[in-house]
Structure 1
Amino acid sequence: MPVLSDSLDALNPITPAPSPRIAPLGPAVVGRAALALAALLAIGFFTLPALAGGSLRLRGDVTARGDILNLGDLVEGAPQEAGQRPLFRAPALGSTGTIQARRIVEAVAALGLGTVETGGRVQIAVQRAVRRVGAPEIEAALKRGLETAFGLDPRNLSIRLDGEAPALLAPVDLNGQAAALDVTYEPRSRRVTGLISLGERQASLRVSGLVVEMRDVAVLARTVSRGEPVTAADVTLERRPREGSPPDAQSGVADVAGEVAQRTLSAGSVLRTGDTAPPELVNRGEAVTIVYETPGIALSIRGMANESGRLGATVNVINSASKKVLQATVVGPGRVSVGPTAPQRQASAALDAPVR
């Protein structure tokens, strides 16, 4: 609004002007004036509601990202500068509150911005946005703290947090990884405590729990009968607390795949040492091939096994040609060896046989 000068000294003397001669108006001039007046009235009819504030509309339910709700957060169509005007305080982190529509209308009117179209809404709901750091992130932060401060391997640890699903609530703009500060650990009780923090302790939560040492154990996926071979598909690896697992539990699929069950094993059972064993490659009473190999010499004869044996086992076999009993090592299915390290009498017996 321009400022009017109130200095009378600045005004010039007023000289009366001669009265102009007024000519009578014709019908054409009167018609054009009437049309102009009607146009002005029409423009005023459509623009006055907007000038009176009809372009301001109440928003629906909103989500607050900060502590304060500005005019622009609650009302659409507000001028940019007025939209930054703070009106209400947002609810606490993670909670929801309501604002009566009349309070927003009164606040806008007090700013001289006119009326607000509410669309019939009596109130609006305001939800406060929050970053929630849950149990998985808290556990990971504690594991990193235990590794740094106490040298524990986080891959072999699990932490049972005290309480029901502890969570750290923080503003959504507080970025970065959660860190565990002031970590303490008692090896005998396996108790751990720490302060879970975000952004230089801008948000923090003290937690505690029990450290559980974990290990991988081989678990049967199906029931396997005695004498039946175990395949890789029959075994799964599960991470279980070391304290509840058998000390001789198998820890890998490759350790048992291809071996034979020594007794009936139920589905879901943890495989222990002795539950499975390599298959017997030589059976008692079956025909075997006896081989004798040295650099430059390779002999083989037919024989019969006096006992069963697995790969690498020492068994007694009978040379079919000389009828002598030899001690041999199982080297494959139906195949034994009396190699150069065998006693001389065994080697000699092998040499007595015809070469194949």
Structure 2
Amino acid sequence: MKIRSRLFHSLIGAGLIAGLALSPALADQLRLRAEAVIDGDTVRLGHLIEGLEKGADIAVFRAPAPGARGTIRADRVISAAREMGIDGIDADGLKVISITRPGRTISRNDLQALIGRAFAERGAKGDLDVILDDHHAARTVDIARTDALKVTNLARDTASGRFEVKVALAGATTGETWTLTGSIVETRDVVVPVSDLERGDALQAKDLTIIKRPANTVGTDVVTAMNDLIGMIPRRVLKSGEPVRQTDIAKPILVEKNQLVSVVYASKGLSLTMRGRAQANGAMGETIRIQNPQSKRFVEGMVTGPAQITIFAAPAPAATLADATTPPRR
């Protein structure tokens, strides 16, 4: 990028170099720099000429954009200095001077995070996924601008999710704001398989991962918590990356129909164990019927483990004051 002189003629017109009158002695050690690093909007003589003291702050060229590089022809620098009354500069064989202006990059992710926080602070609910429109690229500002980013204005169409915001650095002037557009999507966590999973095998934590999906695409029957899937049995093949619905899974069968099981009778301070035959399949927490092989009688109990049924005795009714009152004599 070639850097053009736009400022120094106006500086001459304004009389900013009046009385400069450098003596030849001051120019004895002046030499062009091969490279210069700029931290502002203008290139000054002191950036380009080594050994220059008086007049070093005079702006003569516009600097490259932050994060960019450019060049200035050596003869143009010498000519600009001569018009300022500075002579005797050693070009040292240089044809061009390389100009670098370091920049601070503000990424799309930085901008999206800032916008998400701004909407959350203003009452937006749920997990918000901010998506800038594709034409908005990362921004680069001068390396010296360490100010925090701020949102100065924001507007959102809640029906479509579209937004328009104005963003600036905290110390920026009115003309330094950026207008950004995009959309905000409310998202929910959804548990999905990391690979295709066959039916019949109990799900493990390593088989699953959590992703975000637009909330309006997540049905009420979709499983959203990892713990609700671990240990469950797929009823069908589960596809990688696809949400799992309640109807796709079942609790593991711990008791099978006609299986001989341990039947535990649990009452306060008492526990009896006997054998029984299950009359149906049962998963953890389900209630099924069991037959006593000797008496042939049927009872109901809860599946509490592999091949184990527990019958919980109903608690005795609490005594009342009426129960303790002695009836009157006749």
TM-score normalised by structure 1 residue count: 0.74
User: Helix, strand or coil: the match of 1:192?
Assistant: strand
Amino acid at match of 2:47: D
Query: Which residue does 1:45 correspond to in 2?
Result: none
For structure 1, which segment, 85-94 or 247-256, has the greater mean C-alpha deviation from structure 2 after superposition? 85-94
Q: Which has the higher contact order (CA 8 A, sep 6+)?
A: 2
Query: Which residue does 1:48 correspond to in 2?
Result: none
User: Helix, strand or coil: the match of 1:230?
Assistant: coil
Query: Which residue does 2:319 correspond to in 1?
Result: none
**Matching residue within 30, 42, 53 for 1:56:** 30
Instruction: String of CA shifts for 1:103-126, please: whole Å, max 9, x gaps.
Output: 222344556665333343211232
1:269-284, aligned counterparts within 5 Å? 269-284=242-257
Quick one: distance in 2 between partners of 1:107 and 1:201? 32
**Matching residue within 181, 185, 193 for 2:156:** 185
Shift of 1:97: 3.5
Query: Which residue does 1:313 correspond to in 2?
Result: 286
1:82-161, aligned counterparts within 5 Å? 82-109=55-82, 114-149=87-122, 151-153=123-125, 156-161=127-132
Would the alpha carbon gap of residues 88 and 225 (structure 1) be closer, same or farther in structure 2, given more than 3 Å must change? closer
Amino acid at match of 1:188: A
Would the alpha carbon gap of residues 55 and 194 (structure 1) be closer, same or farther in structure 2, given more than 3 Å must change? same
Shift of 1:147: 1.9
User: Helix, strand or coil: the match of 2:247?
Assistant: coil
User: Helix, strand or coil: the match of 1:142?
Assistant: helix
Shift of 1:93: 4.2
Quick one: distance in 1 between partners of 2:220 and 2:232? 20
User: Helix, strand or coil: the match of 2:117?
Assistant: helix
User: Helix, strand or coil: the match of 2:37?
Assistant: strand
Quick one: distance in 1 between partners of 2:243 and 2:109? 27
User: Helix, strand or coil: the match of 1:136?
Assistant: helix
Query: Which residue does 1:238 correspond to in 2?
Result: 211
Is the contact made by 1:183 and 1:195 (CA closer than 8 Å) also made in structure 2? yes
Amino acid at match of 2:184: V
Amino acid at match of 2:48: L
Instruction: String of CA shifts for 1:234-258, please: whole Å, max 9, x gaps.
Output: 0000112223344422112111011
Is the contact made by 1:134 and 1:165 (CA closer than 8 Å) also made in structure 2? no
Quick one: distance in 1 between partners of 2:291 and 2:303? 14
Quick one: distance in 2 between partners of 1:331 and 1:261? 21
Query: Which residue does 1:72 correspond to in 2?
Result: 46
Amino acid at match of 1:208: T
Greater Rg, structure 1 or structure 2? 1
Is the contact made by 1:52 and 1:114 (CA closer than 8 Å) also made in structure 2? no
Instruction: String of CA shifts for 1:88-143, please: whole Å, max 9, x gaps.
Output: 33234454443110122234455666533334321123233333333222222222
Q: Which runs of 5+ in 1 are unaligned?
A: 1-50, 343-356
Structure with greater helix share of residues? 1
Query: Which residue does 1:171 correspond to in 2?
Result: 142
Is the contact made by 1:108 and 1:115 (CA closer than 8 Å) also made in structure 2? no
Amino acid at match of 2:207: D
Quick one: distance in 2 between partners of 1:111 and 1:184? 51
**Matching residue within 237, 259, 268 for 1:286:** 259
Amino acid at match of 1:248: D
Quick one: distance in 2 between partners of 1:215 and 1:306? 41
Query: Which residue does 2:168 correspond to in 1?
Result: 197
User: Helix, strand or coil: the match of 1:118?
Assistant: coil
Shift of 1:84: 3.2
Question: Percent of counterpart pairs with the same letter?
Answer: 28
Amino acid at match of 2:229: V
TM-score normalised by structure 2 residue count: 0.79
User: Helix, strand or coil: the match of 1:104?
Assistant: helix
Amino acid at match of 1:198: L
Quick one: distance in 1 between partners of 2:172 and 2:63? 22
User: Helix, strand or coil: the match of 2:167?
Assistant: strand
Q: Which runs of 5+ in 2 are unaligned?
A: 1-24, 316-330
Amino acid at match of 2:49: V
Is the contact made by 1:312 and 1:330 (CA closer than 8 Å) also made in structure 2? yes
